[in-house]
Amino acid sequence: MMLSVADIPMAGIHFTGIIGAVLWRGKEYRLATYLGAKVVKIQNNMVRVIQGNLELDARLLETSGRLLKALVVVISLLPFSRK
């Protein structure tokens, strides 16, 4: 099992992003924000995630969090003129 739950800042707002996978009895289950996963509870190093008819309770194994540095791209649009 792999599960990551994080606060995602984007365009001036924040949301809780989720990405994860569980291999259970030979079948892979994917959990992700883009698939409709939602955190319904975070408490005492535990998290509960639901997605459709799936529900996952997970316990934090490591308490030393790390910042994930992401690429920031700035695009400047210049006026276009034809001569």
pTM of the model: 0.69
Q: At a CB cut-off of 8 Å and minimum separation 6, what does 61 contact?
A: none
Which among 43, 65, 46 has a CA at the least distance from the CA of 56? 46
Q: How many CB atoms lie within 10 A of CB 12?
A: 5
Determine the residue type at 33.
Answer: T
Task: Tell me the pLDDT tens digit for each residue of 7-33.
Answer: 888 788 888 889 999 999 999 999 999
Q: Tell whether the model's pLDDT for residue 37 goes beyond 90.
A: yes
Q: At a CB cut-off of 8 Å and minimum separation 6, what does 17 contact?
A: 4, 5, 6, 7, 8, 33
